Amino acid sequence: MGFDFDFKERYGIDDLLEIMRILRSENGCPWDKVQTHKSIRMDFIEETYEACDAIDKNDPDLLREELGDVLLQVVFHSVIEEEQGRSHFDDIVNELSHKLINRHPHVFGDVKADTVGEALSTWNDVKQEDHGQKTYTDTLKGVSAAFPALMRAQKIGKRAKRAGMDFPDAGAAMESLESEIAEVKAAAPDNEAEELGDMLFAAVNVCRMKGYDAELLLTRATEKFIDRFEKTEDLIRCEGKDMKALDIDTLDSYWRSVKNEEKQ
Task: Say yes or no: 153 and 108 in one domain.
Answer: no
Residue 6 included in any domain:
no
Confidence (pTM): 0.69
Task: Say yes or no: 163 and 183 in one domain.
Answer: yes
Task: Say yes or no: 223 and 250 in one domain.
Answer: yes
Decide: 187 and 195 in contact? Cβ < 8 Å. Answer: yes
Residue 1 included in any domain:
no
Specify the number of domains making up the chain. Answer: 4
Q: Which of 89, 159, 2, 234 is nearest to 257 (CA)?
A: 234
Q: Residue ranges of the alpha helices (H) in the chain?
A: 13-23, 41-56, 60-83, 89-102, 105-108, 116-130, 136-141, 149-162, 170-186, 192-209, 214-238, 248-263
CA distances to 22, 23, 26, 140 from 30, rounded to whole Å, are: 11, 8, 9, 42
Residue 4 included in any domain:
no
Task: Report angle CA 124, 129, 134 to the nearest 5 degrees.
Answer: 105
The Cα–Cα gap between 99 and 126 comes to 10
Domain stops at, among 84, 111, 132: 132
Residue 5 included in any domain:
no
Residue 183 included in any domain:
yes
Q: What is the pLDDT of residues 55-99, one digit of tens each?
A: 999 999 999 999 999 999 999 999 999 999 999 999 999 999 999
Task: Say yes or no: 204 and 185 in one domain.
Answer: yes
For residue 174, what are the domain limits? 135-212
Query: Residue 198 is part of a domain; what is its CATH number?
Result: 1.10.287.1080
Domain stops at, among 212, 230, 251: 212
Average pLDDT of the chain, as a whole number: 93
Task: Say yes or no: 126 and 155 in one domain.
Answer: no
Residue 181 included in any domain:
yes
Task: Say yes or no: 197 and 168 in one domain.
Answer: yes
pLDDT band at 243; cut points 50, 70, 90: very high
